[in-house]
Copies of this chain bind each other. A is one copy, B any other.
Amino acid sequence: MEKEVTIYDLAELLKISPATVSRGLQDHPAISKKTKKRIFDLAEQIGYRTNSFARNLRSRQSNTLGVIVQRLDSNFISTVIAGMEDTAASQGYQLIICQSSEQVQKEKSNAKALLESRVDGLMVSLAFDTEDLSHFNAFFQKKIPLIFFDRVMDHPGCTQVLIDNRKAACEATRHLVEQGCKRIVHVTAPLKQNVYVERLEGYKQALADAGLPFREEYVLLGNLRQEDGRAAAAAIVQMNPAPDGVFFSNDNCAAACVVALKAAGFRVPEDIAVVGFNNDPVATVVEPNLTTVDYPGYEMGKTAARILIRQLETGEAYNSHTTVITLPSELVIRQSSLHTGVAAQT
């Protein structure tokens, strides 16, 4: 553990003052080209590295953004984070990432940890069971910009980056209706989060528009994992009369259900048409390929990071009231939903 080189060491070796070194390193305009070159060359040569602790202490900022997500091992989430990282890195910010594992309790401790880390801003997608935002109060009070994405809640001054879940679900369900489906099941997650509430609303809306009845028993709640898809299949198989359409809030779950339904002797889409959500890689692997809502995860990540960084640099967070950015989503029609049997565009 050799001693770290500091600007004082550079200054001494170059026979100039630490202040000049500091300014030179920052490419300050008031320092001569020649001096800068000497500074940089020596710094390079003796392996100087900025002490960000000291710098942050002085400047009162970390150039770091905090991210809290429900789970890291989800295709959708990791795509979002990829977008955030690309944008953040290009602007000189780094990402500290925490997962809540869908537990508000962990979300709380994540928030505390990120607060103490003094992240400059925060991007959050809420856990399944988060019911209020009190654990973010310290951020609100200190006016640390906080952006919600995907799973959001309203809070004055916090921008939300979203898709129109209601509309997407409505379109997906309407598509099933147009394929002739009359008994459409909706498989989703517990209704504590906006995304699931809104998708249910969209589903109901489409039914209502078509004059179809809404039936409580057609809404199946679970965790949207593959096993939940298989469980949904088991439930569907038991229903009498059998449903002729299903709209899922998640592709992975939908795909597993399709496989299980086929194993149980159902034909997809002839007996039962299926629509998923997210446009995951599984959608183009399951047979028939899954009709789904293309969710722009990467774009969402880029957008959230870009807006957050802009708020940091302009200081305009918490100024106006809540801004909602709605990203375009799109129903991608594949074979799993086509009662006509005609292949559509991928």
Contact = CB atoms under 8 A, between A and B. Distances in A.
Contact of A96 (B75, B96, B141, B284): B96
Contact of A286 (B50, B81, B94, B286): B286
A192 interface: no
A26 B118 CA distance: 19
Nearest to A62: B53
Nearest to A259: B285
A54 B59 CA distance: 12
Q: How large is the interface on A (under 10, 10 to 19, 20 to 34, 35 or more residues)?
A: 35 or more
A313 interface: no
Interface string A83-111: 00110010000111111010000100110
A173 interface: no
A116 interface: yes
Interface stretch (A66-74, A177-185, A198-206): A66-74
B47 A51 contact: no
Copies of this chain assembled into the complex = 2
Interface in A126-180: 138, 141-143
A226 interface: yes
Interface string A283-319: 0111100000000001000000000000000000000
A285 B256 contact: yes
A49 B281 contact: no
A262 B110 CA distance: 47
Interface of A: 1-2, 4, 47, 49-54, 56-57, 62, 64, 71-75, 77-79, 81-82, 85-86, 89, 94-99, 101, 106, 109-110, 113-118, 138, 141-143, 226, 252, 255-256, 258-259, 262, 281-282, 284-287, 298
7 contacts: A4-B142, A51-B118, A53-B56, A72-B85, A73-B82, A89-B106, A256-B285
The 9 nearest A-B residue pairs measured at CB:
A78-B78, A53-B57, A53-B56, A72-B82, A73-B82, A255-B285, A73-B79, A73-B78, A285-B286
